[in-house]
Structure 1
């Protein structure tokens, strides 16, 4: 599981930074999930080598243009590539009307089913491996954050132990992996718990939209392995951040710290900040939450299990 940043600038694109978008790169069968879709997002995906035909779900945090203006073009291009796989689109109230009117007025016809869900707080998606929960944030318009929860996974089989016990490779391995005890032809009972490594807790990624500091942001980020939080302003501009419904570097760090998160990625930087300012912005947050980094366009961040460095 990896998170690819496609746009990390607030409000408008600047040299080297596009407006907001990030892609969660999942195992093959789950493809790509996109979070926000600022203008030019499909160009960023092409530059990153991510195929639109792999895109399965899009989550929009709020309706401001720097988070949505790339959506109509991306939907159209995905259709022109010939894919017929359905696409799920989630976001705030008004998203369905805006998308449908834009497509109708531009005579854009999609060759796949577009399933649009206008979200409310709570669980909005679940399959056998992943669950997505959303809640409201505090911005100038209705805005949501998303918490992606990977369900706990059974531990790996202890292959050397199984070989030593004389368990033949094949269906019995699958039964043991699924938690079933098996009996060998000689009567030896092999208990799944005895030949399986401890279960792994699932990973948690929290992607927050634009927001002032708020209790819901902390709840969405609780215990997360990775939190993506806007830091539109530096610590000296706290009053401006409050007035515009945004957060500072230090406020983002406070949210991650209060939530007990493992790692914080700052994004959505005001155009007033240059690349030379990024080190200072990171240091402001690290004073409170040391595991902080600033995101950059095309950065790929691996989401690791708390107890493993290679997953």
Structure 2
């Protein structure tokens, strides 16, 4: 059974609180684990969440503010100590390469050679992840330091329809031939096409937008996402501060989700200025513009990617063999 969920390791912004650790988000996707923005304390939060260094196949940093990267030394050293054998791709803004080197080698330890570094630059970058069942794209956001958002996208596919296959007499090895070649000759001599026995299966999508004011890159990152993880550092009353410091309000995050057709919205990266009692206000403000599913992130929560959209096949009338 494949797992597609978000393990939330921290939800604070610049300053952690008693109930919020610095950032950290592990997106688990069919055996792959993308760790976004490990802030201070991420290694310990992973223990509390029941995930390990072996779950990480990719480490993505949006930018080099401390709440998004000070956990890198602990995570890298844990990868080494636990003997992780598979490659771990490390993606980060090339403009911060010197900070990466300092974090990567922050202390003396028995190093590992599985970390595969990929510094990125430019407005849009396709991340190389050989063998992954999805593409990963980064887009540059708008923040006082260079920052990137990330989009994971599974290719579209097809769902085979057993009743249609049976009606056409296509079974056993013929099904595989039909999938590979797009058509097959059925036992009755009729040529059956793939379109007659399947419906489109939209690929699932997830997006991660952290530390940015509204900008042109946000919409294409979020477009049609089944799961959007997005910062909502401020409430609407502090919109001026959000703009000044390069952040979003909860209502702005909700607006992004509404315009992008998002299915599940995860709000996170909350300023320490708001007490725990204000948590519901983030959801309430987002809900004024977004009518979909809203999750106000809490440390150590697990948020599933919504089930795949079902495409309803056209009427089966006349679908049998001619």
Same fold (TM over 0.5): yes
- What residue ranges of structure 2 are gaps of 5+ in the alignment? 312-322
**Residue of structure 1 equivalent to 2:286:** 285
Q: 1:172 to 1:63 in 2, by over 3 A?
A: same
Q: How many angstroms apart in 2 are the aligned matches of 1:77 and 1:130?
A: 26
- Note the C-alpha offset of 1:56: 0.6
Query: Structure 2 matches for 1:176-215, cutoff 5 A?
Result: 176-184=178-186, 187-196=189-198, 198-215=199-216
Check whether the contact 2:85–2:114 (CA below 8 A) recurs between aligned residues.
Answer: yes
Query: Structure 2 matches for 1:8-19, cutoff 5 A?
Result: 8-19=11-22
Check whether the contact 2:211–2:247 (CA below 8 A) recurs between aligned residues.
Answer: yes
The alignment status of 1:136 with 2:140, answered yes or no, reads: yes
**Residue of structure 2 equivalent to 1:307:** 309
- Note the C-alpha offset of 1:192: 2.5
Q: How many angstroms apart in 2 are the aligned matches of 1:176 and 1:254?
A: 43
- What residue ranges of structure 1 are gaps of 5+ in the alignment? none
TM-score by length of 2: 0.86
Q: 1:173 to 1:45 in 2, by over 3 A?
A: farther
3-state SS, counterpart of residue 54 of structure 2 = helix
- Note the C-alpha offset of 1:186: 5.8
Q: 1:117 to 1:139 in 2, by over 3 A?
A: same
- Note the C-alpha offset of 1:89: 0.6
The alignment status of 1:21 with 2:24, answered yes or no, reads: yes
Q: 1:210 to 1:175 in 2, by over 3 A?
A: same
Q: How many angstroms apart in 1 are the aligned matches of 2:148 and 2:157?
A: 28
**Residue of structure 1 equivalent to 2:258:** 257
**Residue of structure 1 equivalent to 2:317:** none
3-state SS, counterpart of residue 178 of structure 1 = helix
- Note the C-alpha offset of 1:102: 4.2
Residue from 125, 128, 143 that aligns with 2:127: 125
Q: 1:233 to 1:186 in 2, by over 3 A?
A: closer
Q: 1:158 to 1:102 in 2, by over 3 A?
A: closer
Query: Structure 2 matches for 1:45-124, cutoff 5 A?
Result: 45-104=46-105, 106-120=107-121, 121-124=123-126
Q: How many angstroms apart in 2 are the aligned matches of 1:260 and 1:162?
A: 33
**Residue of structure 1 equivalent to 2:320:** none
- Note the C-alpha offset of 1:288: 1.2
Q: How many angstroms apart in 2 are the aligned matches of 1:165 and 1:20?
A: 53
Q: Which moved more, 1:200-209 or 1:96-105?
A: 96-105
**Residue of structure 2 equivalent to 1:152:** 156
**Residue of structure 1 equivalent to 2:227:** 226
Q: Deviations over 1:137-182 (max 9, x none)?
A: 1112111111111110221x2234434554443x333222335322
**Residue of structure 1 equivalent to 2:9:** 6
- Note the C-alpha offset of 1:299: 2.2
TM-score by length of 1: 0.88
Check whether the contact 1:257–1:288 (CA below 8 A) recurs between aligned residues.
Answer: yes
Check whether the contact 1:202–1:305 (CA below 8 A) recurs between aligned residues.
Answer: no
- Residue correspondences, number: 304
